[in-house]
Structure formats: structure tokens, C-alpha cells
Amino acid sequence: ISACLVGSEMCIRDRIYRSKYGIKRVFRREISMQLHGSGRINSQGHLEIGGVDTCSLVEKYGSPLFVYDEGLIRDQCRRFHKALSKSGLDYHISYASKAFICKELVRIMKEEDMGLDVVSVGELYNALSVDFDSQKIHLHGNNKTEYEIGYALEKNIGCFVVDSLAEVERIDSIGGQMGKRAKALLRVTPGVEAHTHEFITTGNTDSKFGLNIDNGQAREGVEAILRAENIDLIGLHFHIGSQIFGTEGSQAAIKKVFVWLKDLKEDLDFEAKILNIGGGFGIRYTDEDISYPIEDALEEIITCLKESARSQGLSIPQLWLEPGRSIVGEAGYTLYRVGTIKEIPGIRTYVSIDGGMSDHIRTALYGAKYEVALANRMNEKDASLVTIAGKCCESGDLIAKDVRIPEAKIGDILVVACTGAYHYSMASNYNLMQKPAVVFVRGGKDKIVIKRESLEDLIKNQV
């Protein structure tokens, strides 16, 4: 039993989605894990991804190990392209690199005709290291340093997403010194916030990101950029939240922005050529996350965009998106070895694995929930209720609380699904844990894309 308890309408929508987009659930009596993309159980009862047995991957590369279903990453990019291209709008999709970046992923983004959203000189450097077209990159950040701005100008990035009044001056002055003209979107906060299943309209003035429409700062930002000698204002940006299901929040934000844009047109003769509405499309970590297909969401957003422009008498801007989680989240799995099993009679059983909050921080950070299974015993009955614990020195270092798996044994391979986004990219060396290796699988082949950190790597910058 699972999503059907949430509500009949959601349940029907969820079932249609599953059958339309091929999400499989392993139908055992007491079930644990949904399999996305190419995930399946092979004849040995092992989890297989991209045609590769995940247990053999652990034998080959060790654990913990991140495994990505490359085919699923590519499919997600194609779903966005397909939905947007049929709308007839001019559009641009930038993958939000903060979700996960490495050279191989950048190469894939290039092949899938995606742009890149980067938030630091580090992400920009990583993108450029494999000759990604700098014109298809935009730079975010609420405190871009002079070094970052200079570097981005030197590399001729497509545009800056300007976040503050101070930044307008900074870009203008550095651009002037370098003899470069920058293109910019202004990041605004439209007074709408959305997270998972809900959205709220808020004052939204208390955010470190962007300039607020209601208190007049966003307008000051527009005026400042229009006055700047070395910056061209080409549009606006907002991002109302992450892991969102449904489009009510995005639609409310779009409508609000267009009302404001009408004033800007009348008062300042400014028209946005581009409207970037950020990322935030939700993914199915567990059955509590009710499906909202990208295709349906985009259709609703595009209709709202066209209607809002029409009702304000404005032309329809290019639509830009910055999905991160929805491109890589469901494609990623983490594999661990079970090391210690401790039963506290009458209380709980802890199953400890060889990684932890150093490679999986979201559960400790904000209680994020995940589905887990034993990758080497996928067909066995989920017989025990356990808590999966990491090996870092924090009691809160948990991977999943009160989950059902088969009776675990030392040496089993525990798999955590949906770890493709904000896992490796948020990994740390806490407790001097070595960051795991990352492997991409597709068509029965595996390739290592990030090596496991060595002990030497851990101390190489120490003097």
C-alpha cells in the first residue's frame, strides 16, 4: 500500500503517470523501493541499473558508490525539450549544476543541447574544463566576488543573474575596466513561495536572494541596470522553491511578474526578452511524493505565460528553465556495505553502513526520506523494521528511519534510491571520510566518472 492512501484524485493521476512514464514498483507483499528508468531485478535477484548488476559494481569499485542511470538523465533532458518545443515558444533549458556536476555530466548536457546554470567560479571552471559553450552558461549567486565576475566576463558567459544592487555596480565597474559588456537577468522575489505540495504567497522580503517586487527594490534594480553603461538587461528571473508538485505557485508568480512588467513598460519602456522561472520540479523520493509529470506542469506554465502576456498587452518572452533535481535525482543510487547490526530489544535495530552524512546529508539536514533495499537480495521479503545509520560521529547521521528491508546481514549491499541530486554535490570530508566514486551505467556498460578520493587526496592541501 502506498500512494493510494493520499487521495483518490491524486491516486488516479499517480497511476496514469506510472504507466505513462514506466515507473515500476517491485510488487512484493511489503514493498520498499520504486525503480525508475532502467532499474530492474535480474535473474540473480540483484538490482540492475543500465543493464549492469549493481553488486558487481560494488565488487569492482568498492563502496560507498554512486551509480547513475545515464539513459534516464538523457531521457529527462529530452522530456523537457519535447514539451517545450511543441509549445512553439522560444525557450532555453539550463541544467542547474548545483544538483550534481562532473565533466562527464557536462559532456552529456552538451550532447542533450542543454545550457548550464552555475553558482560559483568552481562550477563555471568545471563546465569550461570540457569546452562547454560559455555563451550557454549563466552565473547565479547572491555574493559574486570580483574575481568571479572578472572570470565570468573574461570567459564570455551568456549572462549574469544579477542578485543585488551592489552587484549591478560591481559588474558595471569590472566590465568597464575590462572593456566588456555583460548581459543580465535580474533576480526578483515575486512574493510567492512553493515547497513540495504547497505554495504560499508571502511578503518574501526576507530572502537573501534577489530583489523584492513589492517593496520597490526590484524596480530600483531594473533602473540601476538600465543606467549602467556596461550591462544590458535582457530579462527577469525568479525561483520560488524546490521539490514542487503542481504549478499553482509558478502561475501565481508569473501573473504577478507580468502585472509588474506592464508598469515597467509604461514607466521605463523596458520589456523583458527573457523570463527565467528557475527549477524546482519535484521528484519521487518515496511514495509520499505524488507524481506531477513535467509535461503537464510545463503545459500549465506555458498556457499561463501566454495568457499573462496577452492580458497585459506584452509580447511573450523567451521561457528559460533551470531544472536540477528533476534531471539527475531519480537517476542516482547510492550503494553501501552493511557493516554493523545492532538490535536494542524493544526499541529499534540499527543497520550501519560504510558511508553516512558525508555522502548523504539531506536526511540529517532536513529529515528527507528515502527508499532503501538490499541490492543483493531484491526478491526477498521485507521482514524487518530497521533504521539505517551512517558511520559519522553524529547521532543524527541517519539515512532512513523505520524502514522495512529483508533481515540484514553483515556484508549485504544496501541501496538508497533517488540520490542523484544534492548528494555528491553536497558531500563533505567530515570525519575525514573519503568522497565515494561515481559510476555511470548505460546499455550494459559502466564507466567511472569520478574516482574515489584517496587518503592522500584528504591531506594534499595540508602544509
Q: Which of 239, 337, 423, 442 binds ligand PLP (CB under 6 A)?
A: 239
Q: Is 170 a residue that touches ligand PLP (CB under 6 A)?
A: no
Binding-site size, ligand PLP (CB under 6 A): 16
Looking at 35-43, 142-150, 196-204, 277-285, which segment touches ligand PLP (CB under 6 A)?
Answer: 277-285
Shortest reach from residue 207's CB to ligand PLP, in Å: 11
Looking at 147-155, 321-329, 390-398, 431-439, which segment touches ligand PLP (CB under 6 A)?
Answer: 321-329
The candidate with the shortest Cα–Cα distance to 21, out of 1, 36, 31, is 36
How is the chain split among helix, strand and coil, in percent rounded to 5? 35, 25, 40
Give strand pairing partners of 34.
25
Q: Which of 34, 54, 164, 242 binds ligand PLP (CB under 6 A)?
A: 242
What sign for the dihedral angle of Cα 362, 420, 195, 292? negative
What number of other Cβ atoms are within 10 A of residue 381's Cβ? 13
The answer to whether residue 393 is catalytic is yes
C-alpha Rg value of the chain to the nearest Å:
23
Residue pointed to by grid coordinates 544534492: 422
Q: Which of 34, 63, 97, 326 binds ligand PLP (CB under 6 A)?
A: 326
Q: Which of 255, 325, 337, 377 binds ligand PLP (CB under 6 A)?
A: 325
- How is residue 178 written as a grid cell? 575590462
Residue pointed to by grid coordinates 503517470: 17
Q: Is 289 a residue that touches ligand PLP (CB under 6 A)?
A: no
Q: Given 55, 392, 393, 418, which residue is catalytic?
A: 393
**Binding characters for ligand PLP, 99-138, by CB under 6 A (x = yes):** x-----------------x---------------------
Looking at 272-280, 293-301, 336-344, 383-391, which segment touches ligand PLP (CB under 6 A)?
Answer: 272-280
Non-local (6+) Cβ contacts of 279 within 8 A are 96, 117, 239, 242, 321, 322, 323, 324, 325, 326
Nearer to ligand PLP, 242 or 419 (CB): 242
Shortest reach from residue 90's CB to ligand PLP, in Å: 20
Looking at 124-132, 266-274, 305-313, 324-332, which segment touches ligand PLP (CB under 6 A)?
Answer: 324-332
Between CA 458 and CA 463 the distance in angstroms is 12
Q: Which of 132, 260, 281, 424 binds ligand PLP (CB under 6 A)?
A: 281
Cα distances from 319 to residues 86, 116, 245, 259, 374, in angstroms, run: 13, 15, 19, 17, 42
Q: Is 245 a residue that touches ligand PLP (CB under 6 A)?
A: no
- 260 and 213 Cβ atoms separated by less than 8 Å: yes
Looking at 22-30, 278-286, 382-390, 433-441, which segment touches ligand PLP (CB under 6 A)?
Answer: 278-286
- 275 and 318 Cβ atoms separated by less than 8 Å: yes
Shortest reach from residue 335's CB to ligand PLP, in Å: 23
Q: Is 64 a residue that touches ligand PLP (CB under 6 A)?
A: no
Between CA 425 and CA 98 the distance in angstroms is 7
Q: Is 144 a residue that touches ligand PLP (CB under 6 A)?
A: no
Q: Which of 278, 317, 420, 436 binds ligand PLP (CB under 6 A)?
A: 278
Q: Is 324 a residue that touches ligand PLP (CB under 6 A)?
A: yes
- 389 and 398 Cβ atoms separated by less than 8 Å: yes
Write the DSSP symbol of residue 453: P
Nearer to ligand PLP, 190 or 323 (CB): 323
Non-local (6+) Cβ contacts of 36 within 8 A are 23, 69, 72, 284, 330, 331, 417, 418
Nearer to ligand PLP, 64 or 324 (CB): 324
Tell me which residues touch ligand PLP (CB under 6 A).
Answer: 96, 99, 117, 140, 239, 242, 278-281, 322-326, 421
- The residues annotated with a catalytic role in the active site are 393
